[in-house]
Structure 1
Amino acid sequence: MEDIIVPLGFFAIIFGFPLVRREMAHRHRMERLREERALQAAQPAPEVSASLDDAPALALRLPEPHRLYALALLCRIQDAPLERLDARSRYLVTQARQQDLPATLRGYLNLTPAARQRLSAQGQLPEDLLREQLELISRGVEQAIGRDAAAADAVLSQSHYLREKFQPIELGEAVRLER
């Protein structure tokens, strides 16, 4: 009988221990998840804050001519080749996307009727101010993207090199062989 019990006990220890260990780890993980969920349920819901990517949602709430302009501006910023821009231009485009454009759109959308009347009394229409601000952001983004000096310098230097290399040889001029 001992001949059967000892090997059976040995196999039970070898194969049973990993199963018991896995079961204990699973129970521990489930208890931790329950505790985390209970803590999250006990905490008050966080206030809805302005996310970094709320500009598209804000742009969709604008009146029609400004909506199209703001969405086109967002597309232009999204398509900007940030990896090829210098540090300053990259910073300007990123700031326009993450801060300037959402702040402008939020400012317009948060205007109350009293604030609109006050602006109108001063001779400034909110729609005109929004258009002006969107145009300023657009011009700034265009200038930052167009400021890609490194690419322009590369094209100019390549042009200069090719002019020197393939310029027609004048009579009496020594032939240069470059390798």
Structure 2
Amino acid sequence: MTTAILAALLPVLPAAAQTVTGDQAAQMLYPPRPAEVEMSAGDVLPKDQAKMLEMVAKDQPYYAAIAISPDEGLMSEATMAAANHHTVEAATAVALSQCNAKKKGAAECVIVAVVRPEGWEARPVQLSASASEDFANYSGALAISAATGSWGIGASADEAVAACTARQPAATDCAVAIAD
């Protein structure tokens, strides 16, 4: 994704929550698996396609969103999945942006499925499935990018931000979410 698209998305993405300690985060984070799928296809998809999409979406790492162009349907190059973000809102913004950039029809893209941790409820700290799994290696600070889903762990806040940016150079918004 280009820097211009990321810059356009930043106002609609949730800001990183206040920094919490590693012990506090350990109490709030979901295990990296299992995930649940919430379908929102309504009448956009035929039932058989919605069922197939639900089965495929279940294998996406949370937080994820799948967008389609209603004019083109599920089996279109405009269909986009954004997975392994730190919130559904961030995944939704990316999936819609990418879908709308590729669609050929007139109608704006719509979200047809989201993936969250099983038993999800809003919590002050949310990490992607991969970042939640990597939390086992936590040592001092963990930084996240709301725009890209990148994350990084380091002994200090500066090291965590550098690791987040190094993981995904387009992650220009890396900020410390967890620090001791």
Relative to the length of structure 1, the TM-score reads 0.22
More strand by share: 2
* Greater relative CO, 1 or 2 (CA 8 Å, sep 6+): 2
Relative to the length of structure 2, the TM-score reads 0.21
Larger radius of gyration: 1
More helix by share: 1
